[in-house]
Amino acid sequence: MSYCAIVLAAGDGKRMKSSKPKVMCEVLGDPMIDWVLDGVRDAGIPDNNVGVVIGSGAETVKAHLAKRGEYRTFMQTERKGTGHAVMQAAEMIKAGENVLVLCGDAPFINGDVLTTALNEHVHSGNDVTVITADLPDPAGYGRIIRGENGELSGIVEKKDCTLVQLGITEINSGVYWFKASALADALPKLSADNAAGEYYLTDTVGIILESGGKAGTFTAEDGDIVLGANNRADLLALNIIAKMQVIQRHLDEGVEFVSTDGIIIGRNVQIGRDTTILPGTILRGNTVIGENCNLGPNTLIENCRIGNGVTLNSVQAYDSRVCDRVKAGPFVQLRPGTVLHDGVKIGDFVEIKNSEIGVNTAVAHLTYVGDSDVGKGVNFGCGCVTANYDGINKYRTKIGDYAFIGCNTNLIAPVEIGENATTAAGSTITKAVPPDSLAVERSQTKIIENWEKNFQRIKKA
């Protein structure tokens, strides 16, 4: 048997007061729809069996989906309820399949719940299986109504609940598994004959029951799977929940946190044991951190691979690779394309960009190394600059092993410094420096005596 999924993603960000469509609002740096589609993928449903109903900000969502995979999209031009949304994607429903319907703005649904619910759905021979959760504070969610024998008899929206029904804590997650035939039969029977004038997907349950079908529930253990965001405060709450879940997972794996303040870790980041994360540290994207590292305070890492035993104190690193036992910081930026080999030391106020820095090389302070290939055991003095840009093109600088770059040296690329070569402090180097040699660009120093007397700086000051 095969499966397909219909994801409802047409909502706008009006209550968010955002120009973004709602499903593009982010939790831990990823749009909510990514969380949902990852859950669908984890449940084993291939992207091309997933139909996304779009509406508000359709182009934005479509462009985003195109980057993720081969999704089908269906345009809902009018906003006429969840049932109406599913109708737009009716051609997804193929005989004999099971159809998953879920919301693109409830990010905590996951593959495990979807799969287990599907098993229950198939095993029970249900025509529809509603995923439910038990919430101590059921708030605005639709309540699950059960018959005398505990069987599902309907779903009542909060605003239609009696006082007794309001006390029900089992609620509708908005996620359903349908038999294709049951959904196909029920959709045309939905009516918009209600106060809101909308077609409600929840009404399919009653329709299925009335036509003699079988409706059941699957109760998720973790109530968080139902949580969605209608406004910025909701979204903040989702971010905080997600943050703590990610941190708990890393704690379980032996990562050390002495505080969780200001820490935001993307859900796909990997961290080795005995690594310590200090406050204010943000780890994003496709990032892997080794063991025994010290990150932070205030370190920001995006799409980097960090080795073992690395210290990054107040470093920002983007799309870079940092090998073992590197120490960097405080106040360092590693821009995309940086590779720091084992044992490299980067001191304060240093930027490295699109450069490879060899084993044990030291760049101690106030230096910019860009578009460079630097050997091992090189020592950069303070204030060195690789001048890689002439206003038109960018060029590379090559520095041999064990070279010694004097303070405030300018290396005007393209240029090559030989092995063991030295550049004198304050020199601007425009031509190759042979191995073992010293290059010095400097004038005679003149001393003008009694200058202070004439200039009278101190008296005037």
Residues labelled catalytic: 365
Comparing CB distances to a copy of itself, the nearer of 52 and 271 is 271
| The one segment of 81-89, 126-134, 159-167, 451-459 that binds a copy of itself by CB under 8 A | 451-459
242-264 burial, b for 16+ CB within 10 Å, e for fewer? bbeebbeebeeeebebeebeebb
Burial of 197 (0-12, 13-18, 19+ CB in 10 A): exposed
Rounded to 10 degrees, what is the CA torsion of 264, 269, 271, 276?
Answer: -10
Write out the binding residues for a copy of itself, residues 169-228 only, by CB under 8 A: none
| The one segment of 54-62, 77-85, 171-179, 422-430 that binds a copy of itself by CB under 8 A | 422-430
Comparing CB distances to a copy of itself, the nearer of 67 and 460 is 460
Joined together, the tokens standing for residue 326 give 């590197």
Q: At what angle do helices 111-123 and 32-42 cross, to 10 degrees?
A: 50
Nearest to 41 by CA among 124, 100, 87: 100
394 counts as binding a copy of itself under rule CB under 8 A: no
The single residue among 342, 387, 396, 414 that binds a copy of itself, judged by CB under 8 A, is 387
| The one segment of 3-11, 95-103, 164-172, 381-389 that binds a copy of itself by CB under 8 A | 381-389
The single residue among 404, 415, 416, 417 that binds a copy of itself, judged by CB under 8 A, is 404
Question: Strands 339-340 and 356-357: what pairing?
Answer: parallel
Joined together, the tokens standing for residue 196 give 């809101």
Report yes or no: 210 and 168 within 8 Å, Cβ to Cβ: no
344 counts as binding a copy of itself under rule CB under 8 A: no
How many residues of this chain bind a copy of itself (CB under 8 A)? 111
Report yes or no: 343 and 357 within 8 Å, Cβ to Cβ: no
> How distant, in Å, are the alpha carbons of 25, 262, 384 from that of 29?
9, 14, 36
Nearest to 433 by CA among 389, 378, 393: 378
Comparing CB distances to a copy of itself, the nearer of 18 and 219 is 18
245 counts as binding a copy of itself under rule CB under 8 A: no
| Distance (Å, whole) CA 27 – CA 174 | 19
The single residue among 9, 16, 54, 180 that binds a copy of itself, judged by CB under 8 A, is 16
Taking the complex as a whole, how short is the minimal distance between the CB of residue 204 and a copy of itself, in angstroms?
Answer: 34
| Distance (Å, whole) CA 144 – CA 132 | 8
Taking the complex as a whole, how short is the minimal distance between the CB of residue 265 and a copy of itself, in angstroms?
Answer: 11
Nearest to 69 by CA among 43, 98, 96, 40: 40
Give the contact letters, 264-303, x = binds to a copy of itself (CB under 8 A), - = no. x--------xx---xxx-x---------x----xx-x---
The single residue among 10, 28, 226, 312 that binds a copy of itself, judged by CB under 8 A, is 28
Residues 6+ apart with CB under 8 A from 452: 458
Comparing CB distances to a copy of itself, the nearer of 290 and 406 is 406
Nearest to 120 by CA among 2, 208, 218: 218
Three-state SS at 80:
coil
395 counts as binding a copy of itself under rule CB under 8 A: no
The single residue among 52, 187, 220, 255 that binds a copy of itself, judged by CB under 8 A, is 255
| Distance (Å, whole) CA 420 – CA 344 | 18
111 counts as binding a copy of itself under rule CB under 8 A: no
262 counts as binding a copy of itself under rule CB under 8 A: yes
| Distance (Å, whole) CA 378 – CA 451 | 40
Taking the complex as a whole, how short is the minimal distance between the CB of residue 369 and a copy of itself, in angstroms?
Answer: 10
Give the contact letters, 299-338, x = binds to a copy of itself (CB under 8 A), - = no. -x------------xx-x-------------xx-x-----
Please name the residue that has the structure tokens 């049932």.
83
- Residue 6 dihedral angles phi and psi, to the nearest 5°: -120, 120
236 counts as binding a copy of itself under rule CB under 8 A: yes
The single residue among 161, 349, 359, 373 that binds a copy of itself, judged by CB under 8 A, is 349
The single residue among 243, 267, 396, 398 that binds a copy of itself, judged by CB under 8 A, is 243
The single residue among 186, 226, 382, 415 that binds a copy of itself, judged by CB under 8 A, is 382
The single residue among 379, 395, 396, 398 that binds a copy of itself, judged by CB under 8 A, is 379
DSSP 118: H
Give the contact letters, 358-377, x = binds to a copy of itself (CB under 8 A), - = no. -------xxxx---------
